[in-house]
């Protein structure tokens, strides 16, 4: 349903935000991973028709959404990274207002707003002014407004920032639920969020697509290239210069270091290492190393 064709974005001054980005996105959740500055927000703002590309285009349901964005906007739910609210309005008033802008009205709008407030666990604070909301509560309002109007394309940029662990789990479950017969694009730097819900993963680096695969395929590529070793604390700095550490834990018997094999190699680099099953953090790290 979403076909991205050689999108590029160059900002005044020559900075490249996106370069020759092409991707076919099917129903389900596409997890967009990449470090800060990788171009994720630039891509999403183009797909949300907020920003125009300097080259390329993208199709929604077979129609050029750059040349004619209105059909896509009617089916779009968008939560940008910096989501603003009208602080004098209550959450209920805010959602009712945005719902009317999307063409909803009457009992259907009231019912949908009530459902969404319950869905994001704000029904008990629905009549409080948004100016008194915490950052996490505002983020939940943002998630709710993105789901108004039964959108067929849902784009969310760093949606779990400010949410506590329980809220993050609730939001992941929500994304998985709404992805039926929809295209959901989730951009984040939190690999565990993607690991929990994504049917496909796209990895970006410096404005380019460096990998597009299912989570299972990325994990298969990392098989045999992830190791664990126990070292003393005084050897940690040396180990970090020698290998690419994905995780470490200090315990009574020493520092448990989890690392991925250097470069394109597949052998253990630290004495006493044992091979371990890769997780998505390992696979993501390896993908970035190979693209560097």
Kindly indicate the confidence band of residue 252, based on its pLDDT and cuts at 50, 70 and 90: very high
Find, among 128, 123, 139, 124, the residue nearest to 87 by Cα.
Answer: 128
Whose tokens are 């190979």? That residue is: 290
First vs last C-alpha separation in the chain:
31
**pLDDT beyond 80 at 292:** no
Q: What is the pLDDT of residue 185?
A: 96
**187 in Cβ contact with 163 (< 8 Å):** no
What per-residue confidence (pLDDT) applies to 227?
95
Whether the pLDDT of residue 118 is over 90: the answer is yes
Which residue carries 């094999």 as its tokens?
261
Whole-Å CA distances, 100 to 94, 104, 120, 151, 161: 10, 5, 20, 15, 27
36-51 per-position pLDDT tens digit: 889 999 999 999 999 9
What is the per-residue pLDDT for 267? 67
Give the separation between CA 190 and CA 267, rounded to whole angstroms.
28
Say which residues have a Cβ less than 8 Å from residue 112's Cβ, sequence separation at least 6.
99, 104, 148
- What pLDDT, on the 0 to 100 scale, is given for residue 263? 57
Highest mean pLDDT among 133-137, 169-173, 200-204: 200-204
> Which residue in 256, 239, 237 sits closest to 248, CA to CA?
256
Say whether pLDDT at 288 is over 80: yes
pLDDT band at 266 (very low <50, low <70, confident <90, very high): low
- Alpha-carbon Rg of the chain, whole angstroms? 21
Task: Quickly list DSSP for 47-116.
Answer: HTTSS--SEEEEEETTEETTT--HHHHTTEEEE-SS----TTSBHHHHHHHHHHHTT--HHHHHHHHHHH
pLDDT at position 69 over 90:
yes
CA torsion sign, 31 to 156 to 10 to 189?
A: negative
d(CA 183, CA 155): 8
Residue with the two structure tokens 């285009």 = 57
Strand partners, 258: 228, 247
The DSSP H or E segment spanning 169 is helix 165-178
Q: What is the mean pLDDT of residues 73-96?
A: 93
Rounded to two decimals, the pTM is 0.88
* Percent of the chain whose pLDDT exceeds 90: 73
Q: At 196, which helix (H) or strand (E)?
A: helix 191-197
- Looking at every residue in the chain, the average pLDDT score rounds to 92
Give Cα separations from 114 to 72, 117, 130, 238, 274 (angstroms): 26, 5, 16, 56, 53
- pLDDT over threshold 90, residue 188: no
pLDDT of residue 73: 94
Higher pLDDT residue, 56 or 121? 56
> Strand ranges (DSSP E) for 148-199?
153-157, 183-188
Residue 262 has pLDDT above 70, yes or no: no
Angstrom distance (rounded) from CA 172 to CA 194: 9
Arithmetic mean of pLDDT, 148-154: 93
Task: Report DSSP state, residue 19.
Answer: E
Place 217 in a pLDDT band, splitting at 50, 70 and 90. very high
Is a pLDDT exceeding 80 seen at residue 264? no
pLDDT score of 283: 95
- Looking at residue 174, what is its pLDDT? 83
């Amino acid at each position: 349903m979403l076909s991205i064709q050689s999108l590029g974005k160059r900002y005044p001054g020559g900075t490249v935000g996106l370069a020759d980005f092409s991707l076919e996105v099917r129903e389900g959740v596409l997890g967009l991973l990449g470090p800060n500055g990788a171009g994720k927000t630039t891509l999403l703002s183009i797909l949300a028709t907020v920003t125009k590309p300097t080259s390329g285009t993208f199709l929604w349901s077979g129609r050029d959404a750059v040349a004619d964005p209105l059909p896509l906007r009617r089916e779009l739910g968008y939560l940008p990274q910096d989501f603003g609210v009208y602080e004098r309005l209550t959450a209920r008033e805010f959602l009712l207002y945005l719902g009317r802008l999307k063409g909803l009205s009457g009992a259907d709008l009231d019912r949908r707003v009530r459902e969404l407030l319950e869905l994001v666990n704000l029904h008990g604070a629905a009549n409080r002014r948004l100016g008194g909301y915490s950052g996490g509560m505002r983020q939940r309002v943002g998630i709710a407004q993105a789901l108004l109007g039964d959108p067929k394309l849902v784009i969310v940029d760093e949606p779990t920032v400010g949410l506590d662990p329980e809220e993050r789990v609730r939001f992941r479950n929500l994304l998985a639920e709404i992805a039926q017969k929809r295209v959901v694009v989730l951009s984040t730097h939190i690999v565990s969020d993607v690991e929990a819900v994504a049917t496909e993963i796209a990895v970006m680096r410096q404005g380019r697509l460096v990998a597009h695969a299912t989570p299972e395929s990325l994990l298969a590529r990392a098989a045999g290239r992830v190791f664990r070793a126990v070292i003393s604390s005084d050897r940690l700095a040396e180990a970090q210069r020698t290998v690419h550490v994905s995780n470490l834990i200090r315990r009574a018997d020493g520092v448990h270091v989890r690392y991925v094999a250097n470069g394109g190699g597949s052998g253990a680099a630290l004495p006493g290492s044992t091979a371990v099953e890769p997780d998505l953090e390992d696979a993501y790290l390896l993908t970035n190393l190979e693209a560097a």
